């Protein structure tokens, strides 16, 4: 089953092999990943990509990664998606956008579409995690109705820096 969503300004479609170059450019961009994870080797980039283009299975903890493109121009702007957790009624969301498209509301718009799709698929709870200095991502989550539910001091080490991990929670009843 192909997964495709549409918003006022965006088309979100399930990642395919043709998206590799865009994916690689995104997750190797130091500005994009600085608060997410350490730089990846070429093999790790490929492994990460390959795990996201498999047929999505609601019984597995794998990503439904959606390539996000602007309507009209079809320009790649980023990726939004979710994966199952160990609780069958819960998913974890994630999103990454190229710096040129950050601050334009694309992350919020795409995340709202993904949340609506999650409701359609009958998920009840959505979780997200960000590092404390990632204020922009935290604001996107809050705009979409997430509430901070916890923190773990010194929870994440990225490129030798130690960050607090912030947990966010979103319940189905808050999705409109």
pLDDT single digits (tens) 130-163:
999 999 999 999 999 999 999 998 879 999 999 9
Pairing of strands 125-131, 90-97: parallel
What is residue 175's predicted lDDT score, i.e. its pLDDT?
47
Are β-strands 10-14 and 4-6 bridged in parallel, bridged antiparallel, or unpaired? antiparallel
Q: How is residue 78 written in tokens? A: 């980023």
Task: Indicate the number of domains in the chain.
Answer: 1
CATH number at residue 33: 3.40.630.30
Split at pLDDT 50, 70, 90, the class of 176 is very low
Place of tokens 């590092």: 131
Domain that holds residue 121: 4-174
pLDDT of residue 155: 79
Neighbours of 14 (CB within 10 A): 19
- Judge contact between 53 and 63, C-beta under 8 A: no
Distance CA 141, CA 148 (A): 9
Q: How far is 57 from 173, CA to CA, in rounded Å? A: 24
Asked if 85 and 127 count as a contact pair (C-beta separation under 8 A), the reply is: yes
Report yes or no: 115 and 126 within 8 Å, Cβ to Cβ: yes
174 pLDDT more than 60 = no
Q: What is the pLDDT of residues 85-102, one digit of tens each?
A: 877 788 999 999 999 999
Q: What is the pLDDT of residues 40-90, one digit of tens each?
A: 999 999 999 999 998 887 777 888 999 999 999 999 999 999 998 877 788
62 versus 107: the higher-pLDDT residue is 107
User: Two tokens at 15?
Assistant: 């990642």
């Amino acid at each position: 089953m192909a997964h495709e969503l549409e918003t006022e300004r965006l088309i979100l479609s399930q990642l395919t092999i043709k998206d590799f170059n865009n994916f690689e450019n995104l997750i190797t961009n130091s500005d994009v990943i600085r608060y997410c994870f350490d730089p990846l080797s070429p093999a790790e980039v490929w492994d990460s990509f390959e795990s996201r283009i498999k047929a999505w299975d609601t019984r597995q903890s794998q990503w439904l990664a959606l390539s996000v493109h602007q309507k009209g121009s079809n320009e790649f702007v980023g990726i939004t998606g979710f994966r199952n957790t160990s609780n069958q009624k819960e998913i974890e969301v994630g999103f990454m956008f190229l710096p040129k498209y950050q601050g334009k509301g694309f992350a919020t718009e795409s995340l709202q579409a993904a949340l609506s799709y999650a409701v359609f698929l009958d998920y009840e709870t959505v979780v997200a995690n960000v590092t404390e200095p990632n204020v922009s991502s935290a604001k996107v989550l809050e705009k979409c109705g997430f509430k901070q539910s916890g923190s773990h001091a010194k929870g994440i080490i990225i490129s030798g820096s130690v960050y607090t991990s912030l947990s966010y929670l979103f319940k189905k009843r808050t999705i409109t």
